Amino acid sequence: MTPTGSSNHGDHGDEAGDSSDGTDVDSDDEATSTVLREIPTNNHYSALDPNDVAGLYAVVVNLLEEPGTGKTKKLTGPQVVKALEERHGFKRSLRWLNSYKAEHKLSTVRVGPSLMEQSHEWIEDIKERVYGGYNAAKLQYHLSVKWGVTVGRTKLWQILKAHNIALSDTWIPTPLIEQLVATETTDKPGIGYRGITDAIRNHYHIKVAQSKVHMAMRQANPELSASRLGNVMFRRVYGSRGVNSVWHFDGYDKLSRFGFGVHCSTDGLSRRYVWWYVGSTNRLSLRVAGHYVKAVERERRRPDQTRTDYGSENVIVATIQGYYSRMSGLGHDGHIYGTSKRNTRIEGGWRILSKDHMKRWKTLFEAMELDGDYRFNTLDFYHIKVAQYVFGEFIKQDLEEWCLRWNSHRIRKSKHSEAPSGIPNMMYEHPELWNYSDVGHPVPGNLREVALEAAADKIPFVGYDMLDESDPFDLAPFQAGFSEAAVAACCFPITKGNMCRLFQILTRDDNLRVKLGFDFV
């Protein structure tokens, strides 16, 4: 007599009849056949890829929660094994199932009101990932790994529905889609339909279909949609050992002469932006090091290596990385210097950032330079400070919005790249789903002390805190004077509708210039 789930392949043999719950295999054959006859096997299920860790986990959890027939409330072990083979072509033994259940703590799947009550602890985390592109299988895996919660797909849907969160695309009227598209493309004309779809999902928490957004954009501006066709870029092949293997640093200088310096860092494997900032300059090594230290503390991991160009703003980070590399005896330098064109991971992002957001600010400032009504003089320090006061928060919001949207969008698979495809946030948090691992290092306890020691000769004056982000544009001495003048001009609070007018008023106020101690140019 051959037990259910037995096979002629290796470990799929005689041990299949040893059930941990004491269920006799032969006694369940009839019930198993009944269950499998009631559910179609080929029309609604697809073959399961053994390398799809999250997909396999979700399938097993869903089968363990599936109601049985007759006296059994749930499918028994042999029934689950046979369902895996019949529905998904995934042939394994009962011993394998029992080992898998023990490894992932699936011996008992708890459902009911208690799980609904526990959901309040993690629902915000799940909500962020739903609108960040996670599907049901990835959500189940994320809950298991991060929160230790085992939940089936049906129960997960019930919990999400109770919290008004939709996993599938939400039906909304076409006029509303067109209105949302028009709103999002007004300030971001260079973004494609995938980016606009992500923006709608993040801003309004509406799971709108990409195809409908694409159609609305083509109808609204067919010339712009046609201009994107064929805009394909071929890049070098990039390889990485895993998450936190290399963090790439670089600055964006297109707005520097107008008083806005941008600096970012991205993880090489996942392409996730780890930190970003915009301030009065991106050439200050103290600020770059401060953001690096806070990113390491936030992520609870230190990268194995960092890569930058030869700019002086990177010397403190290079010193910190080199110190820990020597102390841990890794056998390689913790920091890599190279030319900008070889730092492709971060350099490639600037083209997209410029097209999506920063190009419109550059165009605006260049027009204000040439317009006699505004007379934006980039050589006048007073004009630079006024621009930072008026436009700084809007540029900061744009940069943050773009980085968050990038981290939650889906990178398509490319035949010209060996890097994994998927959502950057998901690849960074769960690299094992792509057969990679986290090769970073734990956060050292003396990180801040080492950073301060490395920056000792760079601190411009006593009491400077390189970890302080409260005044990125160094406007503290002038903030009160600018705000008082803005209120008097009826332009406070500052909005996108009055920002150019306020810039014109403040730059022409000679009394305010003298009061704040600026020289005339």
User: Looking at residue 329, what is its pLDDT?
Assistant: 75
Name residue 400's amino acid: E
User: Looking at residue 458, what is its pLDDT?
Assistant: 64
Query: What HEC string does 109-120 produce?
Result: CCCCHHHHHHHH
Distance CA 202, CA 181 (A): 13
CATH architecture of 246-454: 2-Layer Sandwich (3.30)
User: Looking at residue 258, what is its pLDDT?
Assistant: 95
Ranges under pLDDT 70 in the chain: 1-47, 68-73, 105, 107-115, 187-190, 227-236, 416-417, 457-465
Distance CA 273, CA 402 (A): 10
| Residue 493 backbone dihedrals phi, psi, to 5 degrees | -75, 160
Q: 262: which strand partners?
A: 252, 278
User: Looking at residue 181, what is its pLDDT?
Assistant: 85
Say if CB 424 and CB 439 are below 8 A apart.
no
Distance CA 257, CA 361 (A): 12
Distance CA 69, CA 81 (A): 16
Q: What single string gives the DSSP state of each residue in 43-84? A: SS--PPPTT-HHHHHHHHHHHHHSB-STT-SB--HHHHHHHH
**Region of residue 520 (left: phi > 0; alpha: psi -120 to 50; beta: else):** beta
| Residue 28 backbone dihedrals phi, psi, to 5 degrees | -100, -5
Could you say which DSSP state residue 145 is in?
Answer: I
Using CA atoms, how far residue 402 sits from 339, 393, 428, in Å, is 26, 14, 18
User: Looking at residue 337, what is its pLDDT?
Assistant: 93
Tokens of 468: 């302080």
Domain boundaries, the chain: 14-103, 113-162, 174-222, 246-454
- H/E stretch holding 318: helix 315-328
Say if CB 292 and CB 283 are below 8 A apart.
no
- H/E stretch holding 305: strand 305-308
User: Looking at residue 55, what is its pLDDT?
Assistant: 78
Helix residue ranges, H only, 105-173? 113-130, 136-142, 153-162
Q: Which residues have a Cβ under 8 Å from the Cβ of 82 and sit 6 or more positions away? A: 4, 5, 32, 36
Distance CA 504, CA 77 (A): 75
User: Looking at residue 18, what is its pLDDT?
Assistant: 41
Distance CA 385, CA 276 (A): 21
Distance CA 38, CA 29 (A): 14
Q: Which residues have a Cβ under 8 Å from the Cβ of 272 and sit 6 or more positions away? A: 266, 407, 424, 425, 427, 428
Could you say which DSSP state residue 411 is in?
Answer: B
Say if CB 466 and CB 455 are below 8 A apart.
yes
Say if CB 360 and CB 344 are below 8 A apart.
no
Summary count for the chain: helices (H), strands (E):
21, 7
User: Looking at residue 486, what is its pLDDT?
Assistant: 92
